Amino acid sequence: MIHPLVRSIVLLVVLALAAQAQGSVATQGYGYPTGQLSAAANGGGGAAAEIDAASAVNPAALAAGARYSVYLQFEPEYRSTRLGGAEEPVRVMRFPGFALSGGWGKFAAGVSFTTLLDRTWLNQYADTQSVGGIATPSTVIASSDGGITDARFAVAYAVRPRLQVGLAIHAVSGQNRIDFGRTFSDSSGLGSAEQSSTLNFGGRGLSLGVIGMPIQDLVIGASLRTSGPLSVRQDGQPLASADLPSRMGIGASWIGIPNTTLSARVDKTRWTRMAALGSTRMSTFDAIDIGAGLEVVGPRIAGGATALRVGIRDRGLPFGVDGKAVGERTTSGGLSVPLGRSRGQIDLGLQRATRTSSVATEKAWLLSLGFGIRP
């Protein structure tokens, strides 16, 4: 039986090697941060997230809804990574958000499940291994499947028509299955070798939020998520512990122009608080997220008005490549279409992302599709 400490050290080395082997700029370390934003917020550059009830950012935004609602989000990504002269296309399917909420007078409450970090990737390449002094060709496959989910229970209260406050409890959990394998050709008679590791994450946190209108036509939202304990286990044995990344953000929306909303937002997440979960070879960075967006009212369909959005966004990603930080710049557009006399709504957001690092460049299309029901 392998001593737990020895096994932990071996696994941390494996994780570091996995980060180096990933065939994606965005999914280094413990994965890609989806942002926990709704399809509508993504379409507008994330600028309106602090006042958006469907985004798991500001719990005070729940007080804007007076009826029960259900929200489901689907978000496929089509990316292409270029390293040197080689280019690798990848398609990833995500379901980053589900929420259920309701209001009773001035009170509102809701529960949501959103993806904090998505760690799904596959890397395959040809390699030559020396076996008995003979150079033998083989194929190496490294993959990861899983992520970390944020389960949030939030309550909100409308203090007055122009002031809302909110509080939320976060339970963070997740699983990563990491597989490594080397396959030799049938003619070599060597067969294949495989190794698998499964990591389980658990943590908790608390968030606070406020939305107010200090002057006519200006809406300001701000939120804060505190750090709580975050741990990782393997086979029931503690592996490492750190803190849940804390975050704080503020956004402003100007509604003084008829049928038009101008929004801007800035957010900072302290991802370095979870750096202790990995090895020294995994570089972790705090990240700032800045977005600006425009929303205009479109033609009426099925008894309700549509909305058209455009936006830009610039942010850092938490885990670096070759020890250097990765930046992501996004241009986006979107629309919302009402259904069933405004009892339902479809939100569509399309993002074009460019991610840059010191050694590679990645371009991606992200299609956000959100479906909401308000009976």
**Contacts of 321 by beta carbon, 8 Å cutoff, 6+ apart:** 25, 28, 357, 358, 359, 360
pLDDT of residue 24: 81
Q: Which residue do the tokens 């200006």 mark?
A: 218
pLDDT tens for each residue of 271-285: 999 998 877 778 999
Which CATH number belongs to the domain containing residue 177 in this structure? 2.40.160.60
Which residues in the chain show pLDDT less than 70?
A: 1-23, 65-68, 125, 127, 129-135, 185-193
The count of structural domains within the chain is 1
* Domain coverage including residue 41: 4-373
* Nearest by Cα to 196 from 142, 241, 236, 147: 142
pLDDT of residue 234: 82
pLDDT of residue 339: 86
pLDDT of residue 134: 65
pLDDT of residue 172: 96
pLDDT of residue 87: 80
Q: Strand, helix or coil at 8?
A: helix
